[in-house]
Amino acid sequence: MNHQARKMAVVLLALAVLCAAAACSKSAGLPRLEKDDVVVAFGDSLTYGVGAAPQESYPAVLENLIGRRVVNAGVSGEVTAAGLARLPEVLEREKPALVILCLGGNDFLRRLDRKQAALNLRAMVQLVREKNASVLLLAVPALGLSVAPDPLYRDLASDLNTPLEEETLSDILADRSLKSDLIHPNAAGYRRLAEAVRDLLKKNGAIE
């Protein structure tokens, strides 16, 4: 191989690496939601809407933003193990096209095993997919001096190729004007969360 050919081969290899990196950086993507599709918001008190009126919870606001039925399947105080046990009945009843999964905060508060929480969340994603529905993850802040999102959500989203809304809950809980107490948003905070979910759905092709 002459010098010119070697140079061309190096250029082509570099382009291939760049294309592969670009492909890896793309969002996971979601199927388009039809107008009559059901979305289930599954989680704990952050989904239920503690700290605001029922119509101000993030699922209620999201329903108005995206024009699809959004079922609020939030249970206050729920840990991931209980969520995993409850999820099959909700999937069977609602038959959603999309599940927005927001659990883990109570595991952190109760100092439960993080690895088990991650395993429970992984199992929930698999259960949803077995029902031919898609999943969007919402990251919950880790315990500590900051309200940074726990890295287990990023790891899960990467491993499972699942869209992740990572920053918004942490941003809300770092802003006193958006909170009803130390761990729950107020109406303005839930609206901020619903808008972030709406934007992520648009980014991933689920809605226009």
Q: Domain with 137 in it: what CATH number?
A: 3.40.50.1110
Catalytic residue status for 159: no
Tokens of 21: 């990196």
Which helix H or strand E contains 136, and what residues bound it?
A: strand 134-138
Query: Distances in Å between the alpha carbon of 36 and those of 44, 57, 66, 68, 87?
Result: 25, 21, 11, 7, 21
pLDDT-based confidence at residue 148 (cuts at 50, 70, 90): confident
In a domain, 28, yes or no: no
Give the pair of three-digit tokens for residue 96: 């959603």
Whether residue 30 is contained in a domain is answered as no
Per DSSP, 80 falls in state H
Q: How many structural domains are present in the chain?
A: 1
Give per-residue pLDDT as tens, 51-105: 999 999 999 999 999 999 999 999 999 999 999 999 999 999 999 999 999 999 9
Does 114 fall in a domain? yes
The whole-angstrom separation of Cα 138 and Cα 165 is 5
Residues 6+ apart with CB under 8 A from 148: 141, 142, 170
What pLDDT is recorded for position 26?
41
Confidence of residue 145 (pLDDT cuts 50, 70, 90): low
The whole-number pLDDT of residue 142 equals: 82
Identified catalytic residue from 44, 45, 57, 170: 45
Percent of the residues in the chain that have a pLDDT greater than 70, as a whole number: 85
Q: Which residues pair with 141 in a beta bridge?
A: 149
Q: Which two tokens stand for residue 175?
A: 């802003």
Residues in the chain: 208
Residue 147 confidence (pLDDT): 81
36 tagged catalytic:
no
Residue 48 backbone phi and psi in degrees, to 5: -55, -40
Between residues 17 and 157, which one has the greater pLDDT?
Answer: 157
Structural domain includes residue 89 = yes
Q: Which position among 170, 180, 181, 199 bears the catalytic label?
A: 181
Catalytic residue selected from 76, 180, 184, 199: 184
Q: What is the DSSP string of 5-51?
A: HHHHHHHHHHHHHHHHHHHHHS----PPPPTT-EEEEEESHHHHTTT
Does residue 5 sit within a domain?
no
pLDDT at position 20, please? Answer: 39
Q: What is the mean pLDDT of residues 105-128?
A: 96
The reply to whether 45 belongs to the active site is yes
- Single pTM value for the model: 0.86
Q: Give the domain range for residue 173.
A: 37-203
pLDDT digits (tens, 9 = 90+) for 4-56: 545 444 334 444 433 433 333 344 689 999 999 999 999 999 999 999 999 99
Averaged over 183-188, what is the pLDDT?
Answer: 96
